[in-house]
């Protein structure tokens, strides 16, 4: 980027520029993002792999995460799992694996003096996994137990059910791991999944902290640079249309509140309406004490401790959702309030210029907090780039927010909020 | 927003400065202190790398300062601080004041009725209706949630507050040019609160209680733990308070609590970020410094009998029922920080539970595969009074709590007999790691300093910690384990599936 990235906040006496990430691509397609900062003698690296639960085949839901866990815990060709555990603890190096829907992260952190051990162990676990059978059993057992225990948390229960209703049980964005699906996973599935997706041309290593850029670059070229790239067929993610029907699902549970989750298909990723929609969202339920839902349901009526709306985008069509818990006899009152606010916006396009002004100011003033830590800066850039956002997405964000007009927000309300198509889940006694 | 009654897994996070090697950031040298003319202490850490700062004000007033029958009051007040002052949150305070006075009278009558053994539902509904009407009338003068609005719109992140048994704290991270705004609004919150929408907010807190305690296995379990381990005294209740007390809290109670505890000498402020102590001083004097020094005693003294010793009083066992998967808790009474024993328990925590090779994790999770997790917490539920070392575990389906208990006690017993140099080295290295990673985030650093200053009485606790830890050897760890891991010093709780 040749244009100087000046911090756009007029509040600041002198302009501040967020630190710039150094971006490299090795000949085998492996990407390396570095951001050096030596204020503290610490270091963290994340290896992003373009795979995740959305890449799983039906009926093996949960596989991507088990693979990531087993990479971090299952030992290497050279080290048994017990040896790996001891080796890491002796050097105070933290290593973990976690699969999201579209991206998997293998994260490793340490004090700066251990930098070489940090990279060598990351390389070792990712390129020479042992797939230890005992650790496989351990991870399967703990994952099943974790899923059993999720049912004890009504919010999680309701959230899972909503996803299923909005996307359908078979869609990669609606599917979720169950005790049954985890039980079906075999060691052969692990290796198959790994072989299919863990290739250098699907990887990005992002590093921040106290290290020498030339040394780390050289090390990475000499190790990750040697991996052989391989092409994998692109996934076939079907767009989900907005379902025309309003539907309510009730789940009975021994609780003293109604846990309400409501939502429908929302905004597509990369939509030019994103900025108008995010401002609309803020006005409806994005802030606990400024947004309409919070002011009405919480402060004025005392009906909930937590009430907010949210949105996400993904290749299948994003999701718009509302979350609230209220005492069980107030369920109807809260649902009516949600409908009232949605209709006021969606049908009457009732959004005021004053509300828009406040929303813009808040989002623009908080913008600096996307950049207040070198770790945030580099991992965030890696994520946005891998998800296919334009390279200058964050840089242009303030400008794009600033130029949204009231008419655009009102149009977004009519286009993207659909109270008549709402899917609602209520977990209650 | 999560205005949390943080009490479940609250414990001091300890750090230390390493004297091994030439590290750039010397915390002890970076903390500058400043005492305002009214006696309020401020700690400032200048970190110019990004033009933002984190600000936190901590009051030495928490759940343990509540009077009997008024549990939940410290936390209730924390919510009220966000409702504004005579200057913020209103277009015309003079017009609001008589309405607020009437609401306070009606609220007192309503609360008295609500606490009766056989409350008159009609009377309560009528009073509630009247309060709602007066509040509606007040809305013509009120500026809704203005405290929050000013700070949030000016860019606040991490804007929140929390109440523990020991303290209450208010915090935000903001762009540095609006530091004077933060100081102004936050000082109004803590020094000149106006208790708007009190009874609506009390309902919000009731919802918070249902969410975090009544419908959460953890909340239920740890609330039961404090009630069992401390049969009376300040640590007997959780910060959220008992439902029967909550419905009795009044505006008068909140006002009295505020007058008693929210005084300059009873608070500490911390700033971490792109602000020098010189620049901060002028703004702080004009805001937090403009409150008069008070001659009131700082003695919390609200509650009776807080020096009672619960240690070594015989084993207490309890089975509680909740509609969830089972849990096990084993806790031991012990002295609070900064006692020597408390440092040793931090080491014990590391040896037993932390990292990939924590002994109990190795044995129960990895080898025997009978638990999906085992965790330790030193210093529950607070550190102003003697507290607990807690081990809690969730069994894998098919393994009984009895078996799990036996295995955990076996490991603790082993700890009293065998501690290797390698055990200590691993934990001490981990502590260095935690220290430096704990400095990464401005707010996290601010919270640690405030916590040490408020609870232990000196922020330097944070920087002298490593030396203390380094001075502890294997022998002392074993002796401490032997002394405290005794059956007559133990509380055991089984959570089994069933109806509450």
How many CB atoms lie under 10 A from the CB of residue B186? 22
pLDDT of residue B199: 96
Residue B70 to chain A, least CA–CA distance (Å): 21
DSSP result, A14-81 = S---PPPPEEEE-TTS-EEEEEE--SSSEEEEEEEES--GGGSPTT-TTHHHHHHHHHHHS-BSSS-H
The DSSP H or E segment spanning B465 is helix B461-470
Q: Chain A within 8 Å of B420 (Cβ-Cβ)?
A: no
Q: In chain B, what residues touch A253 (CB-CB under 8 Å)?
A: 323
pLDDT category of residue B2 using cuts at 50, 70 and 90: very low
Instruction: State the pLDDT at residue B21.
Output: 33
Q: Which residue of A has its CA nearest to B160?
A: A288
Q: pLDDT grade, residue B494 (50/70/90)?
A: very high
**Closest alpha carbon within chain A to B158:** A369
Residues of A in contact with B25 (CB under 8 A): 39-41
The neighbour count for residue B244, using CB atoms within 10 Å, is 11
Query: Cα dihedral sign for B472, B476, B481, B486?
Result: negative
Q: Mean pLDDT throughout B297-309?
A: 57
Looking only at the bridges linking them, the beta strands covering B371-380 and B267-273 are unpaired
Beta strands in B292-431 (DSSP E): 316-322, 327-334, 371-380, 387-395
- pLDDT tens digit string along A265-274? 999 899 999 9
Could you give the C-alpha distances from B16 to B26, B69, B122, B191, B461, in angstroms and in order?
Answer: 10, 40, 59, 34, 8
CATH fold for domain B316-497: Cytochrome Bc1 Complex; Chain A, domain 1 (3.30.830)
Rounded to whole angstroms, the Cα distance separating A164 from A62 reads 15
Beta strands per DSSP E along A235-279? 247-252, 257-265
Render pLDDT for B249-292 as a digit per residue (tens, 0 to 9): 999 999 999 999 999 999 999 999 999 999 999 999 999 999 98
Q: Does B204 touch chain A (CB under 8 A)?
A: yes
Largest alpha-carbon pair distance within chain A?
66
Of the candidates A37, A86, A255, which has its C-beta nearest B357's C-beta? A86
DSSP 8-state symbol, B247 = T
What integer best gives the mean pLDDT of chain A? 94
pLDDT, residue B142, reads 96
Point out which residues pair with A48 in neighbouring strands: A105, A204
Q: In the structure, what pLDDT confidence band is assigned to residue B5 with cuts at 50, 70 and 90?
A: very low
Q: For residue B214, what is the nearest residue in chain A, using CA coordinates? A: A256
Closest alpha carbon within chain A to B80 = A299
- Please check whether residue B393 is in contact with residue B404, taking contact to mean a CB–CB distance below 8 angstroms: yes
Q: Does residue B410 register a pLDDT over 80?
A: yes
CATH, domain A22-226, list 3.90.1510.10, 3.40.50.150, 1.10.10.10, 3.30.830.10: 3.30.830.10
CA distance B209 to chain A (A): 9
| Contacting residues for B372 by C-beta, under 8 A, at least 6 apart | A141, A142, A145, A146, A149, B365, B394, B395, B396
Token code pair at residue B8? 């479940």
Contact B149 A256 (CB under 8 A): no
Check: CB of residue A334 under 8 Å from CB of residue A326: yes
Residue B224 confidence (pLDDT) above 70: yes
Contact A299/B145, CB-based, under 8 Å? yes
Contact B74, B66 (CB under 8 A): yes
Whether B156 has its CB under 8 Å from any CB of chain A: the answer is yes
Interchain contact, A289 vs B145, CB within 8 Å: yes
Residue B12 pLDDT greater than 50, yes or no: no
Q: Which of B178, B217, B429 sits opposite A92 (nearest CB)?
A: B429
Same fold, A22-226 and A247-428: yes
Which DSSP symbol is given to B67?
Answer: P
Residue B18 pLDDT more than 60? Answer: no
Where does the pLDDT of residue B454 fall: very low under 50, low under 70, confident under 90, or very high at 90 and above?
very high
* Residues whose CB is less than 8 angstroms from the CB of residue B17 and which lie 6 or more positions away in sequence, other chains included: B26, B27, B28, B435, B463, B466
Structural domain boundaries in chain A: 22-226, 247-428
Determine the residue among B107, B133, B175, B374 to mutate to test chain A binding: the one whose Cβ has the most chain A Cβ atoms within 10 Å.
B175
Region B141-160: mean pLDDT is 96
The answer to whether B323 contacts chain A (CB < 8 Å) is yes
Nearest CA in chain A to B441: A373
- For the cut 80, the answer to whether the pLDDT of residue B122 exceeds it is yes
Q: Do B51 and A153 touch (CB under 8 A)?
A: no
Q: What is the largest CA-CA distance in chain B?
A: 72
With beta carbons less than 8 A apart as the criterion, state whether B192 and B457 touch: no
- Minimum CA–CA partner of A84 in chain B: B356
Give the distance from residue A230's alpha carbon to the nearest chain B alpha carbon, in angstroms.
34
More confident residue, A234 or B377: B377
Tell me: pLDDT of A44 over 60: yes
Most A CBs within 10 Å, among B46, B75, B153, B368, to test the A interface:
B153
Residue pair B16/B464 in contact (Cβ under 8 Å)? The answer is yes
pLDDT at residue B24 greater than cutoff 80? no
**Domain residue limits, chain B:** 27-89+143-290, 316-497
**Residue range A247-252: average pLDDT?**
96
Label residues A81-117 b or e (16+ Cβ within 10 Å = b): bbebbbbbbebbbbbebbbbbbbbbbbbbbbbebbeb
Q: What is the pLDDT of residue A316?
A: 86
Q: A358 and B149: CB-CB below 8 Å?
A: yes
Query: Which chain B residues contact residue A91 at CB under 8 A?
Result: 429
CA distance, residue A16 to nearest chain B CA (Å): 8
- Cβ-nearest to B217 among A16, A85, A152: A152
Closest CA to A147 of A189, A116, A176, A117: A176
Determine which helix (DSSP H) or strand (DSSP E) holds B268, and give its type and residue range. Answer: strand B267-273
Q: What's the whole-number mean pLDDT along residues B345-350?
A: 97
Average pLDDT, integer, range A95-105: 97
**How far does A202 lie from chain B, in Å, by closest CA?**
29
Whether chain A has a CB inside 8 Å of the CB on B144: the answer is: yes
> CB count, 10 Å around CB of B418?
11
pLDDT range class, residue A220, cuts 50, 70, 90: very high
CA distance A154 to chain B (A): 8
Chain A residues with CB under 8 Å of B430 CB are 89, 92
Q: Which residue has the tokens 């639960």?
A: A53
Q: Looking at per-residue confidence, does A148 or A244 come out higher?
A: A148
- Is the minimum CB–CB distance between B1 and chain A shorter than 8 Å? yes
User: Which residues from B are below 8 Å from A138, CB to CB?
Assistant: 365-366, 369
**What average pLDDT does this structure show over A33-39?**
96
Residues 6+ apart with CB under 8 A from B117: none
Q: What is the rounded CA–CA span in Å between residue A35 and residue A371?
A: 12
Cα-based angle B101, B102, B103 (whole degrees, multiple of 5): 90
Fold of A247-428: Cytochrome Bc1 Complex; Chain A, domain 1 (3.30.830)
CA–CA min distance B22, chain A (Å):
10
Query: Among B370, B372, B428, which would you mutate to test the A interface (most chain A Cβ atoms within 10 Å of its Cβ)?
Result: B372
* Nearest CA distance, A377 vs chain B (angstrom): 12
How many other CB atoms sit within 10 Å of the CB of residue A133? 10
Three-class HEC string of B112-177 = HHHCCCCCCHHHHHHHHHHHHHHHHHHCCCECCCHHHHHHHHCCCEEEEEEECCCCEEEEEEEEHH
Q: Do A290 and B215 touch (CB under 8 A)?
A: no
Cα A156 from Cα A160, distance rounded (Å): 6
With contacts defined as CB-CB under 8 Å, which chain A residues touch B203?
A: 302-303
Chain B 228-287, CB below 8 Å of chain A: which residues? none
Q: Identify the pLDDT of residue B272.
A: 98
In chain A, whose CA is at the least distance from the CA of B129? A301
Say which residue the tokens 């004077």 belong to. Answer: B180
Model pLDDT, residue B298: 55
What are residue A49's DSSP bridge partners?
A: A104, A203
Nearest-CA distance from A218 to chain B in Å? 25
Q: Mean pLDDT across the stretch B135-148? A: 96
**Looking at the complex, does the CB of residue B374 fall below 8 Å from at least one CB of chain A?**
no
* Residue-level pLDDT at B20: 32
pLDDT at B16: 28
Q: How confident is the model at residue B306 (pLDDT cuts 50, 70, 90)?
A: low
Distance between CA atoms of residues A204 and A227, nearest Å: 13
Please identify among residues 324-363 of chain B the ones whose CB lies closer than 8 Å to any CB of chain A: 324-325, 355-357, 362
Burial class (CB in 10 A: 0-12, 13-18, 19+), A220: buried
* Chain B stretch 178-197, residues whose beta carbon is closer than 8 A to a beta carbon of chain A: 178, 197
Q: Per the CB < 8 Å rule, is A306 touching B2? A: yes
* B1/A288 Cβ within 8 A: yes
User: Would you state the pLDDT for residue B59?
Assistant: 97
- Residue A409's alpha-carbon distances to A403, A420, B18, in angstroms, are 11, 20, 53
pLDDT in tens, B185-214: 999 999 999 999 999 999 999 999 999 999
Interface contact A12-B430, CB threshold 8 A: no
Q: Which of A16, A302, A366 lies closest to B200 in CB terms?
A: A302
Order of all β-strands in the sheet with B31-35: B31-35, B41-46, B267-273, B52-59, B168-175, B157-163
ipTM: 0.94
Least Cα distance to B186 among B259, B78, B281, B292 occurs for: B78
**What CA–CA distances, in Å, run from B452 to A365, B386, B387, B428, B445?**
32, 16, 16, 20, 11
Question: Which of B2, B53, B210, B367 is the best substitution to test chain A (most A C-beta atoms within 10 A)?
Answer: B210
CB contact under 8 A, B204 and A257: no
Write down the residue that tokens 């009609």 correspond to.
B122
The second-level CATH assignment, the architecture, of B27-89+143-290 is 2-Layer Sandwich (3.30)
Of A9, A40, A375, the CB nearest to B436: A40
Q: What angle do CA B327, B331, B336 make, to 5 degrees?
A: 140
Q: Is the pLDDT of residue A227 over 90?
A: yes
Does residue B15 register a pLDDT over 80?
no
pLDDT at A34 over 90: yes
Whole-number Å distance between alpha carbons of B339 and B358:
24
A228 burial type by CB count under 10 A (0-12 exposed, 13-18 middle, 19+ buried): exposed
Give the pLDDT confidence score for residue B303 in this predicted structure: 53
Give mean pLDDT, residues A3-9: 38
Mean pLDDT, residues B398-415:
97
The Cα of A403 is separated from the nearest Cα of chain B by a number of Å equal to 18
- DSSP reduced 3-state for B363: helix
pLDDT > 90 in chain A, percent = 91
Please state the rounded mean pLDDT for residues B382-408.
97
Estimate the crossing angle of helix B474-484 against helix B401-415, to 10 degrees. Answer: 140
Cα distance between residue B54 and residue B448, in whole Å: 12
């Amino acid at each position: 980027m040749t244009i100087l990235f000046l911090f756009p906040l007029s509040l600041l006496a002198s302009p501040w520029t967020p630190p710039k990430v150094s971006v490299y691509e090795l000949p085998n397609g492996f990407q390396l993002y570095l951001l050096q900062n030596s204020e503290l003698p610490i270091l963290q690296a994340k290896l992003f792999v373009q795979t995740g639960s959305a890449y799983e085949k039906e009926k093996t839901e949960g596989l991507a995460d088990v693979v990531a866990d087993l990479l971090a815990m299952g030992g290497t060709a050279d080290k048994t799992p017990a040896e790996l555990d001891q080796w890491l603890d002796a050097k105070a190096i933290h290593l973990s694996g976690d699969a999201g829907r579209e991206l998997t992260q293998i994260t490793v952190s340490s004090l700066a003096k251990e930098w070489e051990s940090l990279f060598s162990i990351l390389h070792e676990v990712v390129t020479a996994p042992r797939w230890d059978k005992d650790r496989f059993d351990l991870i399967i057992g703990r994952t099943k137990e974790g899923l059993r225990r999720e049912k004890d948390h009504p919010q999680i229960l309701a959230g899972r059910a909503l996803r299923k209703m909005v996307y359908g049980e078979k869609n990669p964005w609606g599917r979720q791991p169950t005790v049954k699906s985890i039980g079906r996973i075999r060691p052969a599935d692990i290796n198959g999944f790994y072989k299919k997706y863990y290739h250098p041309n699907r990887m990005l290593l992002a590093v921040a902290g106290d290290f020498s850029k030339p040394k780390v670059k050289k090390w990475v070229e000499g190790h990750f640079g040697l991996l052989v790239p391989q092409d994998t067929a692109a996934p076939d993610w079907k767009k989900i249309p907005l379902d025309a029907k309003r539907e309510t699902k009730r789940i009975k549970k021994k609780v003293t509140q109604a846990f309400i989750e409501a939502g429908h298909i929302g905004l597509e990723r990369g939509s030019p309406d994103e900025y108008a929609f995010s401002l609309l969202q803020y006005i409806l339920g994005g802030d606990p004490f400024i947004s309409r839902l919070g002011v009405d349901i919480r402060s004025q009526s005392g009906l909930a401790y937590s009430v907010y709306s949210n949105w996400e985008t993904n290749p299948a069509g994003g999701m718009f959702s509302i979350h609230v818990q209220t005492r069980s006899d107030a369920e109807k009152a809260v649902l009516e309030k949600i409908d009232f606010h949605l209709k006021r916006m969606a049908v009457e396009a009732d959004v005021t210029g004053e509300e828009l002004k406040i929303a813009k100011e808040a989002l623009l003033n908080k913008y600096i907090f996307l950049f207040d830590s070198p770790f945030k800066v580099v991992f965030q850039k890696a994520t946005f780039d891998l998800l296919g956002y334009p390279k200058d997405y964050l840089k242009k964000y303030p400008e794009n927010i600033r130029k949204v007009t009231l008419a655009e927000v009102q149009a977004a309300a009519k286009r993207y909020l659909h109270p008549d198509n709402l899917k609602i889940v209520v977990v209650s006694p | 927003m999560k205005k949390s009654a943080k009490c479940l897994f609250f414990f001091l996070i300890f750090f230390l400065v390493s004297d091994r090697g030439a590290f750039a950031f010397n915390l002890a040298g970076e903390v500058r202190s400043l005492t305002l003319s009214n006696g309020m202490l401020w700690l400032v850490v200048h970190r110019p790398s990004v033009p933002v700062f984190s600000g936190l004000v901590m009051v030495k007033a928490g759940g343990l300062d509540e009077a009997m029958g008024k549990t939940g009051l410290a936390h209730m007040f924390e919510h009220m601080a966000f409702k504004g002052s005579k200057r913020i949150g209103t277009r015309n305070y003079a017009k609001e004041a008589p309405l607020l006075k009437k609401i306070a009278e009606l609220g007192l009558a309503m609360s008295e009725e609500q606490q009766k053994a056989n409350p008159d539902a009609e009377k309560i509904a009528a009073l509630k209706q009247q309060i709602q009407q007066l509040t509606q009338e007040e809305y013509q003068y009120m500026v809704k949630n203005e405290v929050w609005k000013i700070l949030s719109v000016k860019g606040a992140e991490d804007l929140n507050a929390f109440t523990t048994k020991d303290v209450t704290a208010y915090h935000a991270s903001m762009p540095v040019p609006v530091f004077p705004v933060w100081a102004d609004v936050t000082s109004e919150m803590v020094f000149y609160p106006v208790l708007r929408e009190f009874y609506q907010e009390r309902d919000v807190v009731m919802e918070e209680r249902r969410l975090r305690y009544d419908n959460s296995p953890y909340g239920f379990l740890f609330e039961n733990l404090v009630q069992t381990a401390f049969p009376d005294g300040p640590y007997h209740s959780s910060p959220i308070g008992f439902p029967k007390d909550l419905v009795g809290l009044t505006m008068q109670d909140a006002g009295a609590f505020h007058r008693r505890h929210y005084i300059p000498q009873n608070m500490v402020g911390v700033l971490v970020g792109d602000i020098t102590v010189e620049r901060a001083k002028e703004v702080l004097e004009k805001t937090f410094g403009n409150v008069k020094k008070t001659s009131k005693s700082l003695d919390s003294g609200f509650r009776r009998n807080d020096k009672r010793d619960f240690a070594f009083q015989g084993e207490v066992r309890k089975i509680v029922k909740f509609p969830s998967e089972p849990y096990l808790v084993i806790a031991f009474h012990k002295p609070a920080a900064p006692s020597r024993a408390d440092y040793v328990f931090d080491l014990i925590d590391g040896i037993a539970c932390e990292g990939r090779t924590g002994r109990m994790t190795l044995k129960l999770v990895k080898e025997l595969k009978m638990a999906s997790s085992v965790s330790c917490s030193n210093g529950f539920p607070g550190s102003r009074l003697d507290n607990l070392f807690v081990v809690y575990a969730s069994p894998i389906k098919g393994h009984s709590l009895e078996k799990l208990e036996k295995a955990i006690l076996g490991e603790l017993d082993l700890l009293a007999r065998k501690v290797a140099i390698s055990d200590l080295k691993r934990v001490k290295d981990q502590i260095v790691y935690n220290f430096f990673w704990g400095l990464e985030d401005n707010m996290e650093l601010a919270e640690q300093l405030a916590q040490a200053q408020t609870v232990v009485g000196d922020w330097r606790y944070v920087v002298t910690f490593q030396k203390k830890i380094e001075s502890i050897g294997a022998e002392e760890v074993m002796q401490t384990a032997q002394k405290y891991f005794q059956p007559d010093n133990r509380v055991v709780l089984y959570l089994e599936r069933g109806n509450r």
